[in-house]
Structure 1
């Protein structure tokens, strides 16, 4: 008689598996699939910045995010593997004329400088968010995260996760295209 008491639990487990397993497997099939993480900042002015300098690099200020067309703000860290994956795409965007500003997030300044020396520096200006307070203020879930800012300093788009060729084609590319900026990233 005792084995029969486990039947209801087995039935519940099978039903839950049938409901949730396909969703879990769908995300495994597409490694670039990132659940849309909500951002309350879309359409609002970009939050303030209180950043430390990062070596001799030009220092990012909040005023740089106002005016002069579209620009990207990228939160990154040297310890972040997806940041290394997206970095060549940020370099390509900067070389195509899209201003990219960097916020080094909770990182060792020396390691951040080594990262840029090794991979190149796509950033027009950069600042260090050593305690993560700016990231918190921007609603950053984790690095990398990239924000598209318009000429009035408003956030148009948030890309949670690395800017890959596929995520660029899905999100950032169409937003830039709609603003008259034609950029493509190779697969």
Structure 2
């Protein structure tokens, strides 16, 4: 076979290879992002950051221990965060779910006004103004929600808004974690 005929097959080979990559990419769920923390059951990275609601108070890992809880990453610049905020309020008020917040790469004044206007579902809110904690956790953006066990270990990660459908999954994970810890 001469070289000319061989070159005629190159576009076909390129097309097949690109088709395989595109087909594989379409089968990936973008909400199922890998989580180093949840996959390895690691604690929330060590931190010491101010409380959004009381900047004189410094919060750290110990503040996230003691009960199975949600840890929600949010910001005022995030439209999806506003979409889920009412649902988080219902979880905290009506179902008694403990939710900690990480205010991510945001302006503290705007964030405090947000909580005043739309209510505060969070037991404590960590001010991560520079995004250092979020970076250490592998946050892709807001909103993200983690399930923490009683030792502050990340047991599950959800990327995107928490709604009734997502809550069913989070509820199951939290129930399993509570059962494992004897709560």
Residue 124 (structure 1) aligns with = 123
Give the TM-score, by structure 2 length: 0.76
Alignment of 1:130-145 (within 5 A): 130-145=129-144
Pairwise CA distance, 1:174: 1.5
Cα 1:176–1:24 change in 2 (3 A) is: same
Q: CA contact under 8 A between 2:77 and 2:106: conserved in structure 1?
A: yes
Worse-matched range after superposition: 50-59 or 37-46? 50-59
Gapped runs of 5+ residues in structure 1? 1-5, 182-187
RMSD over equivalenced CA pairs, Å: 3.0
Aligned residue among 169, 172, 175 for 2:170: 172
Residue 69 (structure 2) aligns with = 71
Q: CA contact under 8 A between 1:50 and 1:134: conserved in structure 2?
A: no
Aligned residue among 90, 98, 115 for 2:88: 90
Take 1:12 and 1:129, find their aligned partners in 2: how far apart are those partners? 49
Q: CA contact under 8 A between 1:53 and 1:127: conserved in structure 2?
A: yes
Residue 3 (structure 1) aligns with = none
Q: Deviations over 1:83-110 (max 9, x none)?
A: 1122122112212111111111110111
Give the TM-score, by structure 1 length: 0.75
Take 1:176 and 1:58, find their aligned partners in 2: how far apart are those partners? 32
Q: CA contact under 8 A between 2:35 and 2:138: conserved in structure 1?
A: no
Take 2:10 and 2:63, find their aligned partners in 1: how far apart are those partners? 58
